[in-house]
Amino acid sequence: MIPVTKPYLPSREKLDKYIDGIYERHWFTNNGQLVRELTRRLEEYLGVENLLLVANGTLALQIAYRALGVSDTQPDENPEAITTPFTFIATASSLKWDGVEPVFADIDPDTWCLDPAKIEAAITPNTRAVVPVHVFGNACNVEEIGSIARKNNLKVIYDASHAFGVQYKGESILKYGDAATLSFHATKLFHTGEGGAIVFKHKEDLARARKMINFGITGPECIEELGINAKMSELQAAMGLCVLDEIEMNLNARAVVWQRYEQALGHTVKRQIQSPGLGYNFAYVPVVFDSEEQTIRIAASLKDQGILTRRYFYPSLESVVCLGDSHSHEVSSDIASRILCLPIYSDLSERAQELVINVIKAELAA
């Protein structure tokens, strides 16, 4: 079986040493030594400041909304945030869960990121924020989104779950917006098994969020903030430190796999057009076929050969009834109906990849 993705497993020997230290210290959570070390090393590696580690990527979004006041409400207020329907459910459901109505705007047909031209028409007196997604690690049009947000006094929280290590015009893409959130789920390029992080623009927002992730507790007998338990554990941090030690090897191996796909399929299927100035991280290989019927047929043929793919992101989220926005978003709906993500991970063999490519080419020629 060739899975669509699988967790990167770092050195077991090194992981065991970190775990031995946890056992010696008897400190498993509450901002332990390894969490502090991982925070420092990630800020250095990513070239950012004000990074906060949390238990998962969904909590990263929710804490960011709270810390930036997006979900602070008074009676009779109905806060809204403009976001993309072409994303994982957590981007929108985290807003809804926190009492903020997700309002969808359509995506750019080439980059597949939130289209700035569609944002302003979606702004209402209730709009508090824009929540764009760097889809598959591709950079949003951060300049135009920033300009619209400043003009309308809106917060910008980037869902950067796919954008670990991505550079834009020579700097980390995580520096844009009032906050950018990361997912460190097991299948991500960089992972901690489960986990996430928030990069804040301002230190005061980081300080508020740091209180929130520990129930609002700031001392043995002091509770200053309405909070929740969103802390990263020492065991998660141990995995992250091991993965970070080997990140360049992982990245380089994925780049080889990604480039093989690009050379073999780049002219036969629609591919995501990367934003100018992007330094990519080779996190995903999404391809778009001519029709939904063709997409389903090719996915079935690949599965018959023991190759798993994923219709990622499908469905387009305006069709999800519980999210409450039934407006049509033509581009997102179209791309979502015709997309497949192909297998990519660092140890995907050339032989296995050739099988994927050959099945697709045979189906396209049929």
* Domains of the chain by residue range: 12-245, 247-365
pLDDT of residue 326: 76
The domain 247-365 having CATH identifier 3.90.1150.10: the answer here is yes
- The lowest-confidence range among 25-29, 104-108, 341-345, 362-366 is 362-366
326 vs 231, higher pLDDT: 231
Q: What are phi and psi of 154, to 5 degrees?
A: -115, 145
pLDDT of residue 72: 81
Cα Rg of the chain (Å, integer):
21
Alpha carbons 262 and 254: distance in angstroms, whole number: 12
pLDDT of residue 228 exceeding 90, the answer is yes
Alpha carbons 107 and 89: distance in angstroms, whole number: 16
Identical fold for domains 12-245 and 247-365, yes or no, is no
pLDDT band at 325; cut points 50, 70, 90: confident
pLDDT of residue 328 exceeding 90, the answer is no
pLDDT of residue 329 exceeding 90, the answer is yes
pLDDT of residue 246: 98
Identify the CATH assignment for 12-245 out of 3.40.640.10, 3.40.309.10, 3.40.50.1100, 3.40.50.10470: 3.40.640.10
Alpha carbons 196 and 182: distance in angstroms, whole number: 5
pTM beyond 0.95, yes or no: yes
* Exposure class string for 73-85: b at 16+ Cβ within 10 A, else e: eeeeeebbbbbbb
Q: What is the pLDDT of residues 230-251, one digit of tens each?
A: 999 999 999 999 999 999 999 9
Which residues are catalytically annotated? 188
Tokens linked to 164? 């670990």
pLDDT, mean of residues 272-283: 96
Alpha carbons 282 and 174: distance in angstroms, whole number: 17
Count of other CB atoms within 10 angstroms of residue 144? 14
pLDDT of residue 186: 97
- The lowest-confidence range among 136-145, 220-229, 329-338, 345-354 is 220-229
Q: What is the pLDDT of residues 167-181, one digit of tens each?
A: 999 999 999 999 999
Tell me, what DSSP letter sits at residue 366?
-
